[in-house]
Amino acid sequence: MLFLAVVNEMTTDERMVAFGRRVREVRKGKGISQERLAEIAGIDRSYMGNIERGEKNITLKKAYEICDALGIEIQELV
């Protein structure tokens, strides 16, 4: 049981990191600063940094708010 929990946690962490990397990639591609994206999405700038580094497991609502701020569909981030 413990082994499965560790594997699942590692997989989740990898997905969070990949999601955050993709947010950063799209943001930079659009020439938007992290601070500006956070402002548009209604998210604290430091929290946005945590998201981009894969340190926060965000809600689906936050993911959609980020997508709306970037002007993209959620499929582009996952």
pLDDT, residue 16, reads 95
Structural domains in the chain (count)? 1
Task: Please classify residue 8 by burial: count the beta carbons closer than 10 Å to its beta carbon, then call 0-12 exposed, 13-18 middle and 19+ buried.
Answer: exposed
pLDDT at residue 60 is higher than 50: yes
Q: Is the dihedral of CA 40, 42, 45, 51 positive or negative?
A: negative
Which range of residues forms the domain containing residue 43?
2-76
Question: pTM score, two decimals?
Answer: 0.82
User: For residues 11 and 21, which has the higher predicted lDDT (pLDDT)?
Assistant: 21
pLDDT in tens, 19-54: 999 999 999 999 999 999 999 999 999 999 999 999
Q: CATH code at 12? A: 1.10.260.40
**pLDDT tier at 1, thresholds 50, 70, 90:** low
